[in-house]
A and B are shown apart, each in its own frame.
Chain A
């Protein structure tokens, strides 16, 4: 495939970053992204919130500020009560309002399977775009949300998760990456992405590839939701985790202490996961303090970037 070139496209399809960026003037660029999926929780209002938090996340991961959004809806009108759709959309509107974003339109089609999401547009200064691959040797890696939503959603699908855990994971997925992004903006970080369908290691692999650097990840430092390990041990691992692992296995070097369960959790596909931030070591402590102060309390330093040009991820 060839992609049309335009000098105002600052981040396009060829770069495969979190969102596209288009320069409007010397001090303003637009960030655009779109994301939609089938329901991951039973409650329509919460599903709407999660879908919106997930769609907004790509703007935050580029270092931008989201401004406007449009709905994307596929709805089985004949099988489902329209009231369900209203609740989903209300969830979406409430979540984007929390982010200071306005809904200015949308489009819906009739479909056999329910899907909802949003296209989001944000602003950013052209010199302050945070791409994935701008890693610097010595950088510290910070993850802002715990892993495990894929495994726990599988347990929920199987009717095995207790209500308290369902509520915890639902709130986590519906939590905006806004506070994390605001904390990040004050610390001139080097690179950022958000952790979603490829799992932590899948997204780290995307960052490392072409960066000229390698990464070290301390598995014991990676925050993980409660019960994730137990459910994974019962075989409640989503097929996506195995696919992610098969796809990127050659880039990851697991230490002997990392068993198959932990490997799968590190590849577990996340819904509306946290930001992964690469920041200079002398700024890491201050950024962590800011994250905690802004309520992003589960943030953790999980590893660092090395000058090793093999572009691998070493996990211990």
Chain B
């Protein structure tokens, strides 16, 4: 493994030094040592843009970035997180509750479990699942549908979870699936969606 010592250098020098080393020889593994957090983040970004998987570490005063499995340098521009193949339409499903309907709560809970499990039948048209108010309780440990939601997310569904709601129920650190978001983001998603289904 090749080591690059970029201590004592400020941005963009550590990135440029790493870039120069990679242009000289094709490396499977590289370790870069820096002494400030900004350089560490920048070098990590650079290595990722070159196809490396990165591990960050602290060694005493030093900060290191280890990159593995780099591909040949490409001119490819960084792309946002991959999304699933787009469907014919964009359907946003918004759940403001952890149970469906009023009357019998036990029944409502069963229905919600069934609903979440059946949701994937929408296929690629299902674009966003937004969870607000009691709906955020579906994302925490002990939720009956947690593994189903996690499977949906792995399949490429973007699950947005209301940050204000998590905070209100004091569940911020218990959320195990989805991305924490804000109301503006939710409203923007509504605007972009072809259809919004509200539960």
Which A residues have a C-beta under 8 Å from some C-beta of B?
Answer: 154-155, 157-159, 216, 218, 229-230, 232-239, 241-243, 253-259, 261, 314-316
Contact = CB atoms under 8 A, between A and B. Distances in A.
Interface residues of B, number: 35
Nearest to B178: A256
B32 to A, nearest CB: 11
Contact of A235 (B36, B37, B49, B163): B49
B44 interface: yes
Mostly helix, strand, loop or mixed at chain B's interface?
Answer: helix
A229 B80 CA distance: 10
B15 A234 contact: yes
A157 B16 CA distance: 10
Contacts of B49: 233-235
A242 B38 contact: yes
A84 B49 CA distance: 39
Interface in B40-55: 41-46, 49
Interface of B: 10-13, 15-16, 36-39, 41-46, 49, 77-78, 80-81, 158, 160, 163, 179-189
Given A234-B49, A257-B185, A154 B81 contact: no
B184 A237 contact: no
A255 B184 contact: yes
Contacts of B37: 242
Mostly helix, strand, loop or mixed at chain A's interface?
Answer: mixed
Given A233-B77, A239-B38, A259-B80, A314 B182 contact: yes
A239 B188 contact: no
A316 B36 contact: no
A154 B39 CA distance: 12
A234 B45 contact: yes
Given A158-B15, A229-B78, A253-B163, A316 B46 contact: no
B10 A239 contact: yes
A158 B77 contact: no
